[in-house]
Amino acid sequence: MSYLETAAEFYGEVAQTPEVGLCCVQSSPLQLPGLKIPPQMQEMNYGCGTTVHPTELANSPSVLYVGVGGGLEALQFAYFSRRVGGVIAVDPVAKMREAAAKNLRMASAQNAWFDLSFVEIREGDAFALPVPDASVDVVAQNCLFNIFEPADLNKALQEAYRVLKPGGRLLMSDPIATRPIPSHLQKDERLRAMCLSGAMTYEQYTQQLIDAGFGQVEIRARRPYRLLDSATYGLPEPLLLESLDSVSFKVQIPEDGACIFTGKTAIYAGSEEFFDDSNGHILHRGIPAAVCDKTAGKLGGLMPNEVLITDSTWHYTGGGCC
């Protein structure tokens, strides 16, 4: 049995007997005006963060959701798309598809705005998404891709890239590890299925996104997720896992490398009105400008005494105040 089959078997079990708190962090789900989430659906929140970012969901986008779970995020995406087939949700586990369909039926009874036809549940998996090339605006997955071994993650990311329209977005939430997870834990298929031992480090995770071709990555949240303690997990010292919410754009990778926004800003502190790096960045004196980590490194190195680079906030939502 491969680790992917172990994962499928595990999710078949937790589709029938919900395991409250399996993956999710202790925060209430994204509450939206007029959205009622049935308790049974909430109990099956197996996501470690959120992939539903309202700022990415204007103009009724088409959404392909990979790994439907109990259907919570499919419902939240449908809240924004509000059209027949606006959300296609894929899962290889029949019991999970059945559970999601049941939960969505309950949701339709409680939400006047929601019609069951807004979410189409399809059999399929992350490595062979059942939609044509360049056909969707948004691909989302929550707490699934961290289960995959590196070569499989690469395949899944390439598949997401394939189905996205140019400029489309991949919305993800996954655990990451604050240091490499030792191999005895990585090999534990059950722990991997439970999203506890497959996580990569931040650097490995973002590099995988770049390797798949995504030219811009924005980090929306980074928070503590789980602590693997020494005694239970056979570790010399405890290992903290974090959960990372990100949005990756299907845009060309610039010649000097991909742009990863983590919330850094550059602030010109010199004596002129503004500073122009002749490379597309104009910094007005005293006013923070959002910059990607690559640009932050370049600007900071250029004039360390006159350009202040602020730390990553790990919460970048684009734009500025004016």
Q: How far is the CB of 144 from ligand SAM (least distance, A)?
A: 4
Pick the closer one to ligand SAM by CB: 7 or 266.
7
Pick the closer one to ligand SAM by CB: 16 or 60.
16
The residue assigned the tokens 């926004």 is: 261
Torsion angles phi and psi, residue 209, rounded to 5: -65, -40
Q: How far is the CB of 83 from ligand SAM (least distance, A)?
A: 22
Torsion angles phi and psi, residue 226, rounded to 5: -150, 150
Pick the closer one to ligand SAM by CB: 67 or 263.
67
If phi over 0 gives left and psi between -120 and 50 gives alpha, with beta otherwise, what is residue 155? Answer: alpha
Query: Under DSSP, is residue 106 helix (H, G, I), strand (E, B) or coil?
Result: helix
Q: How far is the CB of 199 from ligand SAM (least distance, A)?
A: 12
Q: How far is the CB of 17 from ligand SAM (least distance, A)?
A: 14
- Name the burial class of residue 87, with classes exposed (0-12), middle (13-18) and buried (19+) by CB atoms within 10 angstroms of its CB: buried
Tell me which residue of 171, 113, 114, 104 sits closest to 137, measured CA to CA.
171
CB 86 within 8 A of CB 64: no
Pick the closer one to ligand SAM by CB: 64 or 260.
64
Pick the closer one to ligand SAM by CB: 96 or 266.
96
Pick the closer one to ligand SAM by CB: 122 or 281.
122
Q: How far is the CB of 175 from ligand SAM (least distance, A)?
A: 10
Pick the closer one to ligand SAM by CB: 123 or 276.
123
What would the DSSP string read from start to end of 125-139? Answer: BTTB-SS-TT-EEEE
Q: How far is the CB of 84 from ligand SAM (least distance, A)?
A: 22
CB 14 within 8 A of CB 46: yes
**Positions that interact with ligand SAM (CB under 6 A):** 4, 7-8, 11, 23, 45-47, 66-70, 72-73, 90-93, 96, 125-126, 142-144, 195
Pairing of strands 265-268, 239-249: unpaired
Q: How far is the CB of 252 from ligand SAM (least distance, A)?
A: 28
DSSP state of 118: G
The residue assigned the tokens 């590099």 is: 207
